[in-house]
Amino acid sequence: MLNTILDSIKTEAGSLGLAGEHLIQLASATLAEDLGGGVDTTSVATIAPDQVSVANFVSRADGVAAGIIVAKAVMALACNGDVEFVETLSEGSLIKPGTTILSARGNSQGLLLAERSALNFLCHLSGIATVTNHWVTAIAGTKAKIRDTRKTTPGLRELEKFAVRMGGGTNHRFSLSDAAMIKDNHVIAAGGIAPAFKRIRNKFPDLAIEVEVDHIDQLAEALAAGADLILLDNMSVEECTEAVHFVAGRARLEASGGISFDTALAYAKTGVDFLAIGALTHSAPNLDIGLDLMMES
């Protein structure tokens, strides 16, 4: 029974762009951490092993749901397959206080074992999706897109970037091998933008290359090197406007650093293609979600 449920979860994860096996491993490791090599002493002592309950994950706030698939994996493992998902919202659903995000019927001890681990994933990922949605809404009507960074929780990057997508944002590279980004320290080490760009192109001819610049006068060198994506690091709204006019569509532009929620629209209106917001993943508060348990006789 457990393997059947887990296979279904892996298939669903794949349809969401997630690695199902990795998701199961994360859920398993989280439960093992919570058990600490022992058992759930409170539940084992107070609840009959054959007791059945219904667990409802209910939102206490407005937001965007994300991480439902992980919560299901945690419950499936904690209940050893003795669980049925009777109500499930779609990932990325808008939710309000009182919205039931996920409802599961299963072994009571298992459901309570799963509670904190499932909520940790669900609250964290829904928080990221919700914050991302706020940023996306703030720049609506412009061509700019909200994009994440690699400032993610170790081990949770795939899930956190998934939550960004559920909130309407877009993903930057997932790893250092996905694409090259020539940053200031690379420029120093290589002796300039042009030699750094040439060396990457020679070694990885098909790799996408982004160039970070922190001065307007570096734009010409980045364009001459062949960059089709340029990151404008810690530039003001006025400097970004100047950069857009100078580049004139010859490369895509990404504004990064120093952007607040209050200034996001002004940056988006400059004509840049992306706003890179590290806070989507490194500073998003958890969304308030709780588990309400209903006992069955």
Q: Give 141-183 pLDDT, tens digit per residue.
A: 999 999 999 999 999 999 999 999 999 999 999 999 999 999 9
Each residue of 192-209: pLDDT tens digit? Answer: 999 999 999 999 999 999
pLDDT tops 80 at residue 296: no
Question: What is the reported pTM?
Answer: 0.95
Tokens describing residue 93:
């659903």
Confidence (pLDDT) at 297? 58
pLDDT tops 80 at residue 54: yes
151 is catalytic: yes
**198 and 272 inside one domain:** yes
Which residue of the set 60, 116, 145, 252 is catalytic? 116
**146 and 84 inside one domain:** no
Which residue of the set 60, 183, 199, 269 is catalytic? 183
212 is catalytic: yes
Amino acid at 130: T
145 is catalytic: no
CATH for 121: 3.90.1170.20
Each residue of 172-185: pLDDT tens digit? Answer: 999 999 999 999 89
Total domains, the chain: 2
Which residue of the set 82, 210, 233, 254 is catalytic? 233
% of the chain at pLDDT higher than 70: 100
Which residue of the set 148, 158, 212, 254 is catalytic? 212
Q: Angle, to 10 degrees, between the axis of helix 68-78 and the axis of helix 108-138?
A: 170
72 is catalytic: no
**156 and 103 inside one domain:** no
Q: How far apart are CA 77 and CA 68, in angstroms?
A: 14
Q: Is 17 left (phi over 0), alpha (psi -120 to 50) or beta?
A: left
Q: What are phi and psi of 29, to 5 degrees?
A: -65, -35
**111 and 190 inside one domain:** no
**117 and 143 inside one domain:** no
Each residue of 120-139: pLDDT tens digit? Answer: 999 999 999 999 999 999 99
Q: Which domain range does residue 163 map to? A: 137-282
Q: How far apart are CA 162 and CA 25, in angstroms?
A: 17
**145 and 263 inside one domain:** yes
Of the candidates 100, 58, 57, 49, the residue with the CA atom closest to the CA atom of residue 79: 49
116 is catalytic: yes
